[in-house]
Amino acid sequence: MKWTLKNGKKRDLFQYTQRKLTVTYTWLIILFLALFSIIVTVFFVFMVYREQSDSLRSTMSATEDGRVVVPDLENSRSDDLYFFYVLDNRGEVLAQSDAIPQLSGSNRAEIEKWRPDGDSFRLRRQPEQEQRIGDLRIRTDDRLLFIGAHPIMTTSGPAMIYAAKDVTFYRDILRNLLFVFLFILTLFSLAAVKLSSSMSKKAMIPIQRTFKHQQQFLADASHELRTPLSIMNASLDVIELENEDTITPYSKEVVTDMKEEIGRMTRMVQHLLLLARSDAGSAEFEMGSFDIVPKLRQWVLAFEGVAQKKSIALRMMLPGSLIVKGDQERLKQLVYILLDNAIKYTPEEGKVDVGLDPNPKQWRIIVRDSGIGIAEADQPRIFDRFYRVEKHRNREEGSAGLGLAIAKQIVIAHRGSVVLESAPGKGSTFSVEFRV
């Protein structure tokens, strides 16, 4: 599994959260307006459909002395009725009336094969057309017809009544309504962005204030704890010197354990102080050019004794020279963290390799071990603060889970990136890349 952490530039958590809130608020407002528009449109269509279907149904069901009432449409356009036909099962016309008689043939051609079992309705678009009948030219505009079918029984057998209404007016209203909704939605979307941005800024103010107070407290507490820890460590050294001849082995062991715990607490306080300053943007990094090869060799040799205790082979693959730009002390801390983890999680008689890749565009520090590896599910979280893959093992070895979090901040400050390749039981490879 290969996992990459790229942090060329440190992301402002509050700005990121504010942008996310702005997007969320904006989409909620737009979604509400869109749903409102859809509901109004559906309601309008439903009401028009019900009104027109009821009107057509009453027209097709109208009778007088048991006979179907055929409206006269040629001389009257009342109620926008467009045509009215009574056809038998063979498609023969029993009765008819047309607002435009010249279009009777094309109208019947559209409906003669439509024979529903009960009352039925459908829409049909009649495109703009022009017909010439002798010297007469007939031109009709684009129309939308609402057609109804109603089966009846006549003395000669079953028949079907077809009637159509011109609903072009309602179509135009719906189209204009949709344009109005679209305009309002666009206008309100722009207003929603501004309103959402203002709301998200106000929502972040108390969070930012609380976070800054927490940062200040952490920095102050870490700074204040350094002095008493140093005094405690110096006091234990004095006790050892003054009682060197009389101190019992048990007391000496207790003093040694206390010094180790004080040392662990001192390192933790230093880490917390660095993290607090990094969050506040006040961490000091002294960038300068230097040859990293002799420095890296010196940093690796500092771990020879620790590696030998576990019979771990510590190998280096370094070029003759490589001039880089960075904070020498912070890069040293980065290498120490990676080496400490590599040796800590590598079993006895394993091996840890440290390499330096002098690429023309970027240079890399590579730390590879033959240790226990990292599970795929844990890899995205190993740079989180206080996160420990093996909690019981780390607690026994005095790890607080801050090492890789510190390494992450150092990499961010140098505009670098980390590539992790690891699998359980197959070791881990940390490749830290820096731009030249």
Range with top average pLDDT, 163-167, 199-203, 223-227, 264-268: 163-167
pLDDT at 204: 72
**Judgement on whether residues 374 and 273 belong to the same structural domain of the protein:** no
**Judgement on whether residues 110 and 153 belong to the same structural domain of the protein:** yes
**Judgement on whether residues 80 and 145 belong to the same structural domain of the protein:** yes
Which residue range(s) make up the domain with 319?
Answer: 288-435
Residue 110 counted as domain residue: yes
**Judgement on whether residues 404 and 323 belong to the same structural domain of the protein:** yes
**Judgement on whether residues 294 and 398 belong to the same structural domain of the protein:** yes
**Judgement on whether residues 315 and 273 belong to the same structural domain of the protein:** no
Residue 81 pLDDT > 80: yes
Residue 335 counted as domain residue: yes
Domain boundary among 148, 166, 184: 166
408: exposed, middle or buried (Cβ count in 10 Å: 0-12, 13-18, 19+) = buried
**Judgement on whether residues 266 and 367 belong to the same structural domain of the protein:** no
Residue type at 293?
V
Residue 324 counted as domain residue: yes
Residue 394 counted as domain residue: yes
Does this model's pTM top 0.75? My answer is no
Nearest to 225 by CA among 258, 257, 273: 273
* Mean pLDDT across 405-415: 82
pLDDT at 47: 92
Higher pLDDT, 143 or 225: 143
- In this prediction, residue 398 has a pLDDT band, given cuts at 50, 70 and 90, of very low
Distances (CA, A) of 34 to 41, 73, 288, 410: 10, 42, 57, 47
Residue 307 pLDDT > 80: yes
**Judgement on whether residues 292 and 276 belong to the same structural domain of the protein:** no
- In this prediction, residue 367 has a pLDDT band, given cuts at 50, 70 and 90, of very high
Q: How far apart are CA 423 and CA 403, in angstroms?
A: 20
Question: Pseudo-torsion of CA 243, 244, 247, 251, nearest 10°?
Answer: 100
Domain boundary among 166, 182, 199: 166
Residue 187 counted as domain residue: no
Residue 411 pLDDT > 70: yes
* Mean pLDDT across 44-71: 87
Percent above pLDDT 70 for the chain = 79
Domain boundary among 226, 260, 280: 280
Instruction: Work out the mean pLDDT of the chain and round it to a whole number.
Output: 79
* Mean pLDDT across 26-45: 87
Q: How far apart are CA 121 and CA 57, in angstroms?
A: 9
Q: Tell me the CATH number at 258.
A: 1.10.287
Q: Tell me the CATH number at 70.
A: 3.40.1840.10
Q: Tell me the CATH number at 327.
A: 3.30.565.10
Residue 200 counted as domain residue: no
**Judgement on whether residues 258 and 362 belong to the same structural domain of the protein:** no
Nearest to 273 by CA among 402, 413, 387: 402
Residue 56 counted as domain residue: no
Please write the tens of the pLDDT for every residue from 132-173. 655 656 666 788 889 999 998 887 788 899 999 888 888 888
pLDDT at 223: 55
pLDDT at 10: 52
**Judgement on whether residues 321 and 427 belong to the same structural domain of the protein:** yes
Q: How far apart are CA 9 and CA 27, in angstroms?
A: 28
Residue 78 counted as domain residue: yes
What's the total number of domains in the chain? 3
Please write the tens of the pLDDT for every residue from 368-382. 998 888 888 888 788
pLDDT at 368: 92
**Judgement on whether residues 304 and 334 belong to the same structural domain of the protein:** yes
**Judgement on whether residues 241 and 306 belong to the same structural domain of the protein:** no
pLDDT at 219: 58
pLDDT at 213: 61
In sequence order, the β-bridge partners of residue 317 are 355
